[in-house]
Amino acid sequence: MFETLQQQPADKILELVAMYREDPRADKVDLGVGVYKDATGLTPVMRAVKAAEHTLWETQDSKVYTGLAGDPAFADAMIDLVLSGAVPRANVAAAATPGGTGAVRQSFELIQMANAGARVFVSNPTWPNHISMLNYLGIEMVPYRYFDEETRGVDFDGMLADLKTARKGDVVLLHGCCHNPTGANLNSAEWDAVIGVLLETGATPMIDIAYQGFGDGLDADAAATRKLVAAVPECIIAASCSKNFGIYRERTGLLMVVNNAGDATALNQSTLAYLNRQNFSFPPDHGARLVTMILTDPALRADWQSELEDVRQSMLGLRTALADELQRLSNSDRFGFLAQHRGMFSRLGTTPEMVEKLRKDHGIYMVGDSRMNIAGLNAQTVPILAKAIIDAGI
């Protein structure tokens, strides 16, 4: 039977990883994979995570299953981190998932289960896995304008015009902060306008928040999500712990469904547990347990927040340094958007041919759409990248 299978498209980022590994050049720069790296090029285990793991090793006396939705204490801690009382806890159903990706996938399964004819509006561009999963599940996807290739900011007029074509029963997928892949974010007034359109059309918002704490700070990065959930009748939220806790391989995420009437929480909760059972039964617990320990222990939480703030400031410093060096080399401010973007990523706004030229001629590795991982830079590689961009004629 397996002879009927067809070769699936290769993952472009994994292809990039292999090409980078085989490149013998000493001054090559990897800006492809979306993981945080420190100044030495490593992705360290955060101090609070290490401390929590040590305590867990000493005190945990069982590896028995958790519930189908995971440990309720993890849901409570993450709901507080993301929503911070924006809606009553009783209005939020939640289930632990294998990473933020698992939360997104379960969201799409939930949407399909609730309304088989739902359309999901996604930003152009968006995280490629959004599109891949929607296509795999056969859910109709509607792109909405988002990134302005000229300004490297948000095409907000185009975005609003496209979102106004949504209708009740549709879902609008929004990035909570640190837009992936562009790094261009909505401001507070623009979020207000988006909320107005959602209320007008009756479409249900879905927030993918994978980088809380990487942009302007833990609370600032969640402000739009909190404002939105308080204003709309219902909302889906997919949250990830991979980046802000640095526990990529532990696959730790949470899916939340908010119903502001409060009358559907029990139904939503049982549905999330059912979906987990169909896909993987019990979610992984190790990462969730560590996150719970950190968020509920004042000393661990303070140390985690301090280290996370160092990570955030490091990325902001790299953005500023790159924008300043490009301004110096180009004698123009056309790269100023790099300092304005937030999170790990920025989209340079150039062609795949130019991206290939950067790789071949200068050993600069980034995704073909010109998304680059700012956290892959350091003080030594910033001038290398800046010179390569100017030499390539971008």
Q: Which of 30, 170, 208, 369 is catalytic?
A: 208
Q: Which of 48, 75, 243, 369 is catalytic?
A: 243
114 labelled catalytic: no
Q: Which of 127, 162, 184, 375 is catalytic?
A: 127
Helix locations, 23-142, DSSP H? 47-59, 72-83, 99-114, 128-137
Q: Which of 210, 323, 386, 388 is catalytic?
A: 210
Rounded CA separation 315/47 (Å): 19
208 labelled catalytic: yes
What secondary structure letter does DSSP report for 3? G
Rounded CA separation 196/228 (Å): 10
127 labelled catalytic: yes
Helix (H, G, I), strand (E, B) or coil at 168: coil
Q: How far is CA 144 from CA 105, 164, 214, in A?
A: 20, 10, 25
First vs last C-alpha separation in the chain:
49
Rounded CA separation 72/96 (Å): 9
Assess contact for 171 and 203: CB atoms under 8 A: yes
DSSP states of 26-60 as a string? TT-EE--S-----TTS--PPPHHHHHHHHHHHHH-
What is the C-alpha radius of gyration for the chain, rounded to an integer number of angstroms?
A: 21
Helix (H, G, I), strand (E, B) or coil at 214: coil
210 labelled catalytic: yes
Dihedral, CA atoms, 293, 229, 122, 11, nearest 10 degrees?
0
Helix locations, the chain, DSSP H? 12-22, 47-59, 72-83, 99-114, 128-137, 156-163, 188-201, 218-231, 265-279, 286-296, 298-330, 337-340, 352-362, 381-391
Catalytic residue list: 127, 208, 210, 243
